[in-house]
Amino acid sequence: MTNPVTPTVPTTRRAVSAPVPAYAPTGPGVLKFGGSSFTSHAAYEELARALAGRLDAEARPLAVVVSAMPGETEGLRERLHAVDPHPSGDRVAGLLTLADTISAHLLTAALHRLGRRATVLAGHEAGLITDETFMWARLERIDPEPLQQAFAAYEVVVVPGGQAVDPRGRPTWLGKNSSDLSAVAVAVALGAPRCEIHSDVEGIHSSDPRRVTGTRLLGHVSYDDAAAVSLHGAKVLHRRAVRLAEEHGVTIVCRHNRPPFTPGTVIGPGGGRADAVVLNLHSLVLRYHDHEEADRAHRAFRSDGVDTIRLDDAPAVALIGGYVDHEASAHRHGIAVGRAAGIPVTEIRGGRTTVHVAADEAAAVRLAQKLHDELPVPRPTGVPA
């Protein structure tokens, strides 16, 4: 990785809690708001007011990375697949990213209505350059100049998440849930020491709190452990975002996406061990005839930029997070089509990672609960080992 530098809207104003950090800020603040932040069109106005409050409180500009409204991307995907069941990567990247662009313009319109100077830098304008893989593209270069020029004229720059271009200027897509990666890349471009990730949970939990009871919020997590839970399917953060943050010394602060924007997990150097059970019902285990076939499939998926786990004890590969047309990928690479064999449930305990396979969604949830119940309960802070 190289870096060229060492939301109907009422007219009356009302006070809204602003997501103000507890440290002394310098330079533009970098914030990301996921799709769950925009459950209605009124949510854009609410967020715009919160951002205006933060602008007034901190007297510094803001770079805001946003995702699409829930269901928008999948709606575009369904329309595309209705026309072509196996669309090419350039068609997917060119169409699906429009959902995030719409979200960015809606937030910018809400900011304009409040009298704020805001603009949108879409993927072809933001200075994020990838390889020539249209889907799950790998970020190769970050040009800070477009963002720096934008801040010369605007106090808020809104960036649609997951978008970039290849060296020839063609639209590329950084992958599912890649707004995190966009946000960290923006932080790198601006030299920001922190990047705030706002979502419907305050951070990384010991398991999915929507599916598993008794989960714990992890307060301070190392880059390595955050990347591990992400690689195995935890949806809080994008794995490449964690690694990019580590490479450039950017601390990631996870926060809730509603006032008062409660902080949660901090990811950075010196973080503690994260014992966790990762459950992602969109993930899929594919089984092959033998280990050689499984190895070839693993290499092929990885070459496409898809996160996969090669299971050691079986000729099988876990596709993490779903949204992969694995049959089309197999045909494209001339490899065998894997047979769906279940859902992976990953146990991370004491630095050791074990991938279990459950037959279906109900079994996966039961297994995750059992494994989580068996995790050691961490000692309270201040109690000696």
We report the CATH number of the domain holding residue 202 as: 3.40.1160.10
Given a contact cutoff of 8 angstroms between Cβ atoms, the answer to whether 160 and 128 are in contact is: no
> 313 or 324, which is more confident?
313
Given a contact cutoff of 8 angstroms between Cβ atoms, the answer to whether 322 and 306 are in contact is: no
The pLDDT of residue 26 is 67
> 246 or 327, which is more confident?
246
Residue 120 makes CB contacts below 8 A (sequence gap 6+) with 101, 104, 105, 108, 157, 158, 159, 160
Task: Judge whether residue 301 has pLDDT over 70.
Answer: yes
For residue 17, being part of any structural domain is answered with: no
Which alpha helices (H) appear in 142-178, and where do they start and end? Answer: 145-151
> 129 or 11, which is more confident?
129
Together in a domain, 258 and 283: no
Cα separation, 46 vs 107, whole angstroms: 10
Burial classification of residue 236, based on how many CB atoms lie within 10 Å of its CB (0-12 exposed, 13-18 middle, 19 or more buried):
buried
> 162 or 324, which is more confident?
162
The pLDDT of residue 379 is 61
The domain boundary residue, chosen from 257, 272, 287: 272
For residue 367, being part of any structural domain is answered with: yes
Task: Judge whether residue 111 has pLDDT over 50.
Answer: yes
For residue 22, being part of any structural domain is answered with: no
User: Phi and psi at residue 317, in whole multiples of 5°?
Assistant: -130, 135
Cα separation, 129 vs 170, whole angstroms: 10
Task: Judge whether residue 4 has pLDDT over 50.
Answer: no
CA angle 66, 72, 75 (to 5 degrees): 155
Q: What does pTM read for this prediction?
A: 0.83
Task: Judge whether residue 278 has pLDDT over 50.
Answer: yes
DSSP 14: -
- State the chain's mean pLDDT as an integer: 88
Together in a domain, 41 and 164: yes
Together in a domain, 209 and 341: no
Most confident of 45-54, 226-235, 251-260: 45-54
Together in a domain, 228 and 98: yes
Together in a domain, 265 and 308: no
> 380 or 54, which is more confident?
54
The pLDDT of residue 385 is 31
Task: Judge whether residue 7 has pLDDT over 50.
Answer: no
Residue 159 makes CB contacts below 8 A (sequence gap 6+) with 63, 64, 65, 66, 104, 120, 121, 122, 126, 182, 183, 186
Together in a domain, 232 and 311: no
Query: To the nearest 5 percent, what fractions of the chain are helix, strand and coil?
Result: 35, 25, 45
The pLDDT of residue 337 is 92
Strand 263-267, strand 220-221: pairing? parallel
Domain extent, residue 368, equals 278-373
Together in a domain, 56 and 141: yes
For residue 11, being part of any structural domain is answered with: no
In one-letter notation, the amino acid at residue 152 is A
For residue 3, being part of any structural domain is answered with: no
For residue 23, being part of any structural domain is answered with: no
Together in a domain, 61 and 194: yes
Confidence of residue 377 (pLDDT cuts 50, 70, 90): confident
| Helices and strands (DSSP H and E) totals, the chain | 11, 18
The pLDDT of residue 135 is 83
Averaged pLDDT for residues 220-248: 89
For residue 379, being part of any structural domain is answered with: no
Together in a domain, 268 and 283: no
Count of structural domains within the chain: 2
Confidence of residue 25 (pLDDT cuts 50, 70, 90): low
Together in a domain, 252 and 319: no
The pLDDT of residue 381 is 44
For residue 16, being part of any structural domain is answered with: no
Together in a domain, 283 and 205: no
Together in a domain, 246 and 284: no
Averaged pLDDT for residues 242-267: 93
Task: Judge whether residue 192 has pLDDT over 50.
Answer: yes
